[in-house]
Structures are given as structure tokens and as C-alpha cells.
Amino acid sequence: MSIIKRKPFYWLDIFKTEKYLSDLSADGLFLCRMNFFTGALYFEKGEPCRKSYVIRRSPKCGGAVPRKMREDGWRSVCGNRNNYAAEHDGEICITPSCRSYRKMISVLKFLCFYIALFFTGFISGFLTGFTEDGIPAKGDDDYIYFWTILSVMVFITVVVVIGSAIAYIWLRKYGKVYDNILKVETNIDFTIPKENLFYTKAEEKLLRREKKLVRKFRIGWYLSPDMTEKYVEEMERKGWNFYRFDKLGHTFFFIKGSPRNVRFAVDYQNDISDEYLLSNMEAGWKLQFKSVTKVGGYIVWLKEYDDEPPQFYSDVDSMLRHARTVMITYLCIYIPCLFIYGDMLFSFDFGSENFWDGFLLGVALALLIEMTVIIILSVGFYLRTRKKCKGDF
């Protein structure tokens, strides 16, 4: 008869789970089956004998252990379409492979943030609309109904927002475990490579006074990456060499020099892996900016050339897929928010002379305009890229 133990969040620290399985084998409990979705672990009793275990997520592996591991003595215990668990007699060290679990944590962190943002906007619109006709006085027929509904909605929102915040912090803690294992040294100061910082702050101020260094503030440049690339490449041809970004990525620094042929590439990655960074560096691209977030971030590359400009994307399909990813990401984020803040805007009493009503109206209107502009720019980028890929210009 199998013994069942449950670890629903085994993937948060996969190495701790693997050690847990190894410790149980030393007590005579050996893994025989596993539900990779629920985390249910099934064990059979036997003679105590310490074994090593690995649990890996490998898309389309069919539950099979890789050939190299089989040659090293690893045996399959169980698996499914995208996961496998393997055992090895005795204690053995194996190179960590946890990128898929780190990516899963990053996606969940993003969802926690988005859920908290969504419910914050939702409750703002709900409160505005629900109290539009005023608050009923005590003794009115709908007094109890009003406060019951209001209390329930506020309670649900507070619970969801606080729960999302706690889950985010919890996921971030475990994500750091994987980040430390997967970390590849790229020598980055927050968002920009340290080797890009040729000058001190004092030297930069002196160059600005001498008009040899200029700063260009371009907020939202990442929403039209193709236009940004053309802008920087044109500045380079005029002799203004791209120097660096500021740490938030809103300001471009250019230094007066000689005209250069430069390919400036703005990329978007759902998961900024170290392999991705290193492969582009080995291809001769110089990193200029990297988003702080590991999921859903922009990366900027630069490469000098002599004759033919290098292509960052190897084919038309990759270029179009990149533009489509950017557009879909922003549509998924901002369209729901657009409806929430739009409803909030139209529920306002435009004739009110109350200061806070006017303030909230201004905030809702500003957010509505911002989100509309973001959606238009991201769709425009996709349409321009599709047109370019079809060879219309």
C-alpha cells in the first residue's frame, strides 16, 4: 500500500523537495509516483537506502529522462508530458536545472501584481458608482442593504489585495533562490551595464557645460521601438554617439563624436534569461539597458557595423512575433483597466464642486488618456512591423 504525502508548492524550492525525497529514502520510503499538478507524492516502503532524486520540468519530454542522465545512471520514476522525476543510487551532485520553475514564479508574481491593480481600480469605480445617489440615512429601507453590499465588496477587495501582496513577497523570496543559482555575471548597475559609465557625474556635468553631452528625455519610447531605433541611428549618423540611458530608462545620453554606423535594437522578452543575454553578447551585441523585472521586460542592444546593418531578428517571423507579443501584452494589461477607469469616469458627477471629486476626476481622466495612448502606440507598432514584413516599404 502506497503512503501519500502532499507538497502542493514543491516547485517553489525544488532543491529542498529533492533533498526531502532523498532523506525519506534513507528512512525506507521511496518515491514511486507523483502528481506534478497537485504535488501529491506516493511512496513505497523498502530497505533503507539513500538515493538521489531530481524533479524537472522539460516541455514535451513525455516523462522520459534525458539520454545523458540515463548514461550517468539515472532511472525514471514517473513523469508526464512535460515533467519527469528520476532517481540515482547513492548521493550524487547534478547541475541545477530550474529555469522553468523560476519562469513560473515570475509569471505568478506578475499575476499577483496585476490582480492587485485590477481590484484597486475596480473598487474605486464601484465606490464611485454605488455612492452616486448618496448614502442612505439610518432607518431607510435600503440602509442595511447598502452597508452590507459595501462592506462585502470592500472586504473582498482588501483580502484580495493584501493576499496578492503577501503572495508576491512570498514568491519573490523563493524566486531569489533560483536567481542565485542561475545568475550569470553581467556586471549591471540596476538597469545599465557598468562598462557604459565612462564618466563620473562631475565629468558629465562638465561635458554638458561644454555642449559635448546632451540628454534627450523620451518617455514611452519603448511603445514605438522601431521609431526609437531610427531616432538613435540618425543621431549616430549626425555624430552624436549614444552613451547611455539613465537608470529608469527614460533619458538618452549622447556624446559629441564622429559619425558611426550603428544598429540600435529594442527587444521585448517575456522572460529575460541569462542564456538570452549571453548569446547576444557573444554575437557582438553590446547591452545598453535591461529592465529590472525578469518577466515582461525591455532589453536594448547596440552594434557597430561597416557596410550592411546587422539584423537582430534572424527572420521575418521572429520580427513579427516580437511585435505581436508587445501588442498583446499591452492589450491584455490595459484594456480591462480602460473599462474600469472609463466606468469610473462616467460615473462622476461633473457638476460637483467638491475638491476630491474634481481630483479623482482628473486622475481617472489622466489614466484613461495614458492607457488609450499606450494601446494606440502598441497596435501602431505591430501594424508598421506587419507592413514592413510584407515588403510594402
> Amino acid letter at 270?
N
User: Domain for residue 288, yes or no?
Assistant: yes
User: Domain for residue 247, yes or no?
Assistant: yes
> Amino acid letter at 119?
F
Q: Are residues 173 and 200 in the same domain?
A: no
Last residue of a domain, one of 312, 344, 361: 312
Q: In terms of residues, how long is the chain?
A: 393
3-state secondary structure of 247: coil
Number of domains observed in the structure of the chain: 4
Retrieve residue 8's grid coordinates. 502542493
Q: Are residues 217 and 250 in the same domain?
A: yes
Last residue of a domain, one of 312, 337, 356: 312
User: Domain for residue 94, yes or no?
Assistant: no
Q: Which domain holds residue 133?
A: 99-182
Q: Please return the burial class of 302, using the count of CB atoms within 10 Å of its CB with bins 0-12, 13-18 and 19+.
A: buried
Q: Are residues 200 and 263 in the same domain?
A: yes
Q: Are residues 108 and 151 in the same domain?
A: yes
pTM for this structure?
0.57
Cα gap 188→102, rounded to integer Å:
20
User: Domain for residue 17, yes or no?
Assistant: yes
Q: Are residues 229 and 336 in the same domain?
A: no
The position carrying cell 448614502 is 135
Each residue's pLDDT tens digit in the chain (393 positions)?
678 999 988 888 888 898 999 999 999 999 999 998 899 999 999 999 999 999 988 877 888 888 888 888 899 999 998 889 999 987 776 655 677 787 788 788 888 888 888 888 777 777 766 666 667 777 777 778 878 888 888 899 899 999 999 999 988 888 877 777 665 545 555 678 877 788 888 999 999 999 999 999 988 888 888 899 999 999 999 999 999 998 888 899 999 999 999 999 988 776 666 667 778 888 889 999 887 665 457 889 999 998 888 888 756 777 788 788 888 888 887 887 777 777 766 766 666 666 666 777 777 788 788 888 888 988 998 998 888 777 644
Q: Are residues 304 and 350 in the same domain?
A: no
Which residues, in sequence order, are CB contacts of 51 under 8 Å at separation 6+?
21, 22, 25, 30, 87, 88, 89, 90
